Amino acid sequence: MGRQPCCDKLGVKRGPWTAEEDRKLINFILTNGHCCWRAVPKLAGLLRCGKSCRLRWTNYLRPDLKRGLLTDAEEQVVIDLHAKLGNRWSKIAAKLPGRTDNEIKNHWNTHIKKKLIKMGIDPVTHEPLDRKTTSSGPATTSQSTKSDEATKEQSPQNDDAVIRDVPADGCSPTESSTNTVSTGGSSSSGGGGHDQDPLVKWLLEEEPATGDEAWLNFTGSVDVDEFSSIAAGPELLPWDGATDWLLDYQDFGLGDSSLVDGYMVNNNSSNGAKF
């Protein structure tokens, strides 16, 4: 009855991606696009689950990704958006070109959260910690669909409900019903005011079409065509070393140097294509 697993677990490789797998995935997507993620691994000759391929692509291989630590400006945007949206990482990431939800989520948990606490700000409510009384925060309709709230200090102030009810077209939330979850509006000062908040209004707008100027363009724009020529295959690139292909990626002027600065050089881990 229940859904079938997204992929057949048997024979499906897991764990860190190798450079070879990355290359296959890049090659395939750049030539064919990702019509249907479930089919991608098979067609690309990968022993991976489609979900894993999608994640790898969106979080790591996409040519328009910006690597490296978030800048102060980006960090501030994340904080502002988090105050409005809670843990809607994908929504937040959508407004930071070149950043992924995973990246922002990690950065929030490892850096920003601590920073805010140090500054005496509650990372959940975005209110001063000392002002955090018993009535503070959502303290409300623990509508969390997720499990054990206790272990998660994160409870995105019920705008969870607000956002979830945004129609698929991403426009105008049906403010009436949803906003009523009157969060005590730590950040949105007065619950239900989301429709009037320009920031939230903007956030709920349709994403700009790909290639359109994003609200905050921290990245240098990346020419995907250029990238595709690089990823075209061994005949064009020596894919022999785990580092080579990404180094070449940089040499060809793709992405900004942050790809190398922030990652390959500084982060000398041994994870798969992480060098």
Partner DNA sequence: AAATTGATCAACCGCTTATAT
Partner DNA sequence: GATATAAGCGGTTGATCAATT
The closest of 181, 184, 251, 255 to 218, measured between CA atoms, is 255
Please state the closest distance from residue 20 (CB atom) to DNA, in A.
12
Q: Which residue, 209 or 235, is less far from DNA as judged by CB?
A: 209
Task: Give the side-chain half-sphere CA count within 13 A for 130.
Answer: 3
Please state the closest distance from residue 261 (CB atom) to DNA, in A.
12
Q: Which residue, 131 or 177, is less far from DNA as judged by CB?
A: 177
Applying CB under 7 A, the residues found at the interface with DNA are 1, 3-4, 6, 13-17, 34-38, 50-52, 54-56, 59-60, 69, 87-91, 101-103, 105-107, 109-111, 114, 145-148, 151-152, 154, 156, 164, 166-168, 263, 267-274
Q: How far is CA 5 from CA 1, 17, 37, 49, in A?
A: 12, 21, 14, 10
Question: What are the start-end ranges of the H helices in 165-265?
Answer: 175-179, 198-203, 224-230, 244-251, 258
CA 33 from chain centre, in angstroms, equals 20
In this structure, the number of other CB atoms found within 10 A of the CB of residue 219 comes to 17
Cα–Cα distance, 47 to 10 (Å, whole number):
10
Residue type, 40: V
Q: Which residue, 15 or 211, is less far from DNA as judged by CB?
A: 15
Please state the closest distance from residue 127 (CB atom) to DNA, in A.
18
Q: Which residue, 190 or 266, is less far from DNA as judged by CB?
A: 266
Please state the closest distance from residue 266 (CB atom) to DNA, in A.
8
Cα–Cα distance, 23 to 234 (Å, whole number):
9
Q: Which residue, 64 or 229, is less far from DNA as judged by CB?
A: 64
Please state the closest distance from residue 235 (CB atom) to DNA, in A.
25
Q: Which residue, 135 or 147, is less far from DNA as judged by CB?
A: 147
Please state the closest distance from residue 204 (CB atom) to DNA, in A.
12
Rg over alpha carbons for the chain, rounded to the nearest Å, is 21
